Amino acid sequence: MKKLLVILFLVFVIGAALWLRGQPSGPSPEPEAAQAPSEAPESAGAVTPKPEPPAGEAPVPAPDALGMPQTAWSDLPNQDPPPVDDAPRFTGALESPSVESLREEVARNPHGTPPSLLLYAQRMADRMEAAMQTGDEADRLFAELEDCVRSPTERVTIQVQVVCYTNAGRLSRKYGGRFKERFENLVASAPTVASMVKAMGLDEIVE
């Protein structure tokens, strides 16, 4: 009988603990910890598979009669990569999203950043973090960025080139003489992109 009461007590305690875990947390002092930018356990390096549009369903919202804002959604990479510190970082060569894929995505979602451009940005973040730490990585990335900026706009859109150019500028400023001459050549060879980046003030980002 005593034994049974002990078991019953233990069962109750375990059950109560489980039940309490399922309850909403009270006014905890830092309920936003997971959202706070400086504390977020985001792993910028998680590799998200490139989103594929669902076969057979790419509903394109009809342009509104009055041209009013409408933001359709499409397949997007997950907003927040899993919070795992050792998630694999993207280390491969950056592949610019094609004009066709961007057009297709914008047809489905006229407002938001096209998913393939966001995926590109995510991979760029991984590569830039590495490049900011080692010169070898910076060398590798800078060459890819040069290629991106010098590509014809039929192949690489201006949005992507602005991203590439801005990051090339950041590397140039970070490493001083290492890329100085090459970056100056890049400025001269891509006046439209350079002008856009200057207008946006992104040529002055200080690390």
Partner 1 sequence: MSRRLGFVSSCILALQLLAGCGPSSDTETELTPQEEAIVRAQGLQFAEALEGTRERKLVAQDLLRVSKLRIEADETGGLADRWFNPIFGGDRSADVMRYLRERLRVVLPGDGDVSDLLRVANRPARIHVPGKMREPALLMAVNAGVNLWWTAELLWAEKRDRLYLDLGRGRVLAVRASRDGIIQLGAGYSDRMYRMDRMATLIHEARHSDCVGGLSREDLRRVKEDQPPRNEQCGNLHAPCPEGHAFAGMPACDAIPWGAYAVEGVYLNRVAKGCLNCKELDRQAALAGAADRFSRVFEASALLRGQRGDPDMSSRGLIP
Query: In the window 39-78, what residues touch partner 1 (CB under 8 A)?
Result: 40, 42, 44, 59, 61-78
Residue 19 CB, shortest distance to partner 1, in Å, is 5
Please say which residue, 44 or 137, places its beta carbon nearer to partner 1. Answer: 44
Please say which residue, 102 or 146, places its beta carbon nearer to partner 1. Answer: 102
| 207 near partner 1, judged by CB under 8 A | no
Residues within window 108-167 making contact with partner 1, judged by CB under 8 A = 109-114, 117-118, 120-122, 124-125, 128-129, 153, 157-160, 162-163, 166
Find the part of the chain contacting partner 1 (CB under 8 A) among 104-112, 141-149, 177-185: 104-112
Residue 170 CB, shortest distance to partner 1, in Å, is 10
| 84 near partner 1, judged by CB under 8 A | no
Residue 154 CA, chain-centre distance (Å), reads 24
DSSP letter at 110 equals S
Find the part of the chain contacting partner 1 (CB under 8 A) among 139-147, 175-183, 190-198: 190-198
Read off the amino acid at residue 169.
Answer: G
Please say which residue, 92 or 201, places its beta carbon nearer to partner 1. Answer: 201
What's the Rg (C-alpha) of the chain? 24
Task: List Cβ neighbours of 74 (8 Å cut-off, separation of 6 or more).
Answer: 51, 53, 58, 105, 108, 109, 115
CA dihedral of 126, 128, 132, 136, whole degrees rounded to 10: 90
Tokens read off for 195: 């002008």
Cα torsion angle, 108, 111, 116, 122, sign: negative
